[in-house]
Structure 1
Amino acid sequence: MVDNNGILPVLDVERVSRDISNFIESSLIESNAQGLVIGLSGGLDSATTAKLCAQVVNTDKILGLILPSQSTNQEDVDDAVSLAEEIGIKYKIIPIDPLIEPVQDICSRSETNENYKLAGANLKARMRMIILYYHANALNRLVVGTGNRTELLIGYFTKYGDGGVDILPIGELYKTDVRRVAKYLGVSDSILYKAPTAGLWQGQTDEDDLGIKYELLDEILYLTTEKEMEEDELALKLNIKLDEVIRVKAMMRRAEHKTRMPLMPSIIR
C-alpha cells in the first residue's frame, strides 16, 4: 500500500506501534533494567516515543526529563509538560545553561566563528546526554533515544549527544512515518503540526538547517536506500534537480561515521 504520491509505503500504524512497544518491553526485560529515562523536547519524535513506551511499561517506571536552554521556546517546555501529565509519567525540568556556561568559559571560544557556534550547539546535546545517563545509572534504567530513520541516515544528530542512547524505538521510521504513528497514538495537534526544531539556537528549525522539506527528504532517502534507485532516475521520478539528490547522498556519506563504532587498525598476530 502506498500513499497518494506513490512514493512512501503507508504503514499499518497499529501493527507498527504494537511491534515497537513490544521491542521496548523486550529491551527492558533483556537488559534487566528497572525502567526508562527519556528526554522530552516538546517535539513530535519524543512525544511519539514516550507514548509508545507508556503502552507497555508502567508509567511509574518512566522518567521524562525536560532539559531546556536559553534558546528553548517556552511553548516546547509547556508541550513537554502537558505530554508527561497526559500519559501520567514522572518528569523533571532541569535547565542546562548553568551546566554549559562553565564549560564554555573554561574553553577558548570565538563567538564570530561558525565552528564555535556548532560546537556550542553540540555541547547542549551532549550535556543532555550526560543528564539522561546520570538519572538512568542512578535508577538502573535504559536511556530511550528519540531519533528517527531520516535523521540517522543523514547524520542529523550529535554524536555522543542525542545519538548516545541505549535503544532507538523509532529509529526505523522516516519522519513521515513518525507523524503517521503520532496521529494514530493521539499526539496533540500542538505537537503534531509544529515546525520540527532541535532548539539549538533562537529561531532554529530542522528544515531550515537541512535546506529541504522532510517530505521530499524522506522520498529521496527511501528511493535511495530501499529501492536503490540511480540518481538521475530518482531526480526524474520526483521531478527535482539532480543536484538535490547528489546533495542528500553526500549528507549520507558524511554521516556514516556517526552510526558505527570508532575505527580501529587491523592488527595481525
Structure 2
Amino acid sequence: MASNQTVRTADEPLDVRFTEAELEAERERILSFIEEHVNRDEERMSVTRELDTAVVGLSGGIDSTLVAYLAVEALGTENVYGVVMPSEVSSDETMSDAERVADDLGIDYDVVEIGPIVDAITDALPDHGETDDRIGRFQRDITAVRTRTLVEYLNGMEMGGVVVGTSNRSEWLTGHFDKYGDAAVDCQPILHLYKRQVRQLSAHVGVPDRIVERKASPEIGAAGTDEENLGASYDTIDSVLALTIDGPVSPGRTAELVGIEEETVESIITLYEQSEIERRFAPALDAPVDRVR
C-alpha cells in the first residue's frame, strides 16, 4: 500500500474511551473470552489432542503486545507462545521490543526470519513476462503477511496451539488487514476495540509507554505508518466509525461535531465500503457456516 503523507486530524475527536469501571469490566470480559476460546477450541475442532496454548505473533506493536499481556493473565505464562517474525524492513526498535515483551512476560518464543521464505515463494512464481514494479511489491508485501500467518499455524499444529488474532476494530472496519493473512486466526479478543480503546486498555494492564505511544506501522514494504496509509489519525478514524459507521450520525453532522472536512469523513466511509468483501467468508452455493461443525 502506498503511503499517504497527509494525515488529517479532527479538531475535537470523539472521546471513545471507557470509564474506569467499564475499563476493568472490559479487561475481565476479554480474559474470559481468551480462556474460553483456547480451551473450547478442542471441542469445536473435534481434534484428539489437547489445545491449551495461545500462539501470538509478536510485532513489538501495541495490538500484539496487549493481546500477549491479556493471554498471559488469562492462561498463565506456560500456556502462551510468541512468534517474532521480522522481515527485511522490520525496524530494529520494534523487533527488539517484540522480544523484550516476550522476555518481560516470561513466555517461550522463537524468532523466524520470514524474508527467505517470502523469497522462495515469490521466486517460484511462473514468469509471466514483465511485471509492473508496483504489482511486484504488492505481491511480496501480501506474501509476507500471509507467511507470518502460516508460521503461526505451523507452530500451533506442533504444540497444540490456538492462533490468537491481534486486529482491532479501527483496522477491521477500514480494511487495514489481509483477509488470508493477519485476519486468518482462531479467535480475535480485541477486534471490538477502537484504536484509542486499545491504547487505554494497554496502559491499564501495564504495557510499556514506549509501545503505547508509538505510531502504528505494518512494518511491511515501504508502507509508512498506519495513519499515513489511511490518510487520517486514528482518533479521527475512531470518531467517524463510532458516529457514522457504527452509529446513526450523518457524515455532514459528524464532520461538524468533530471538526473535520466532510471530505475526510467520506474518505473513511469509502475505506469501510471498499473493504467489506474482506470481512466476508468466500461465497458458496450451499454451505452455511453454522452447519460446519
TM range (shorter): over 0.9
Superposed structure 1 runs of 4+ greater than 6 Å apart:
none
Deviations 1:177-205 (A, max 9, x none): 00000000111122111111110024721
Q: 2:145 aligns with which of 117, 125, 147?
A: 125
Which residue of 1 is the match for residue 201 of structure 2? 181
Provide the aligned length of Structure 1 versus Structure 2.
264
Which residue of 2 is the match for residue 17 of structure 1? 27
* Displacement of 1:233: 1.3
Q: 1:57 aligns with which of 75, 79, 82?
A: 75
Which residue of 1 is the match for residue 189 of structure 2? 169
Unaligned runs of 5+ in 2: 1-11, 43-50, 288-293
Unaligned runs of 5+ in 1: none
In structure 2, relative to structure 1, the CA distance for the partners of 1:111 and 1:87 (3 Å cut) is farther
RMSD: 1.8
3-state SS of the aligned residue for 1:56? helix
In structure 2, relative to structure 1, the CA distance for the partners of 1:144 and 1:236 (3 Å cut) is same
Residue type matched to 2:281 in 1? M
CA distance in 2, matches of 1:191, 1:234: 30
Which residue of 2 is the match for residue 134 of structure 1? 154
Note if contact 2:137-2:221 (Cα within 8 Å) is conserved in structure 1: no
In structure 2, relative to structure 1, the CA distance for the partners of 1:186 and 1:26 (3 Å cut) is same
Note if contact 2:245-2:269 (Cα within 8 Å) is conserved in structure 1: no
CA distance in 1, matches of 2:131, 2:77: 43
3-state SS of the aligned residue for 2:275? helix
Identity, % of aligned pairs?
28
* Displacement of 1:255: 1.1
Residue type matched to 1:17 in 2? R
In structure 2, relative to structure 1, the CA distance for the partners of 1:9 and 1:47 (3 Å cut) is closer
Which residue of 2 is the match for residue 151 of structure 1? 171
Which residue of 1 is the match for residue 3 of structure 2? none
* Displacement of 1:137: 1.3
Q: Which has the higher contact order (CA 8 A, sep 6+)?
A: 2
In structure 2, relative to structure 1, the CA distance for the partners of 1:71 and 1:244 (3 Å cut) is same
- Normalising by structure 2, we get a TM-score of 0.85
> Do structure 1's residue 8 and structure 2's residue 26 form an aligned pair?
no
Deviations 1:155-193 (A, max 9, x none): 100111001100110000000000000000111122111
In structure 2, relative to structure 1, the CA distance for the partners of 1:195 and 1:139 (3 Å cut) is same
Which residue of 2 is the match for residue 104 of structure 1? 122
Deviations 1:97-119 (A, max 9, x none): 11010112122486753232222
Residue type matched to 2:26 in 1? V
Deviations 1:182-236 (A, max 9, x none): 0001111221111111100247211111111111010010101332211111111
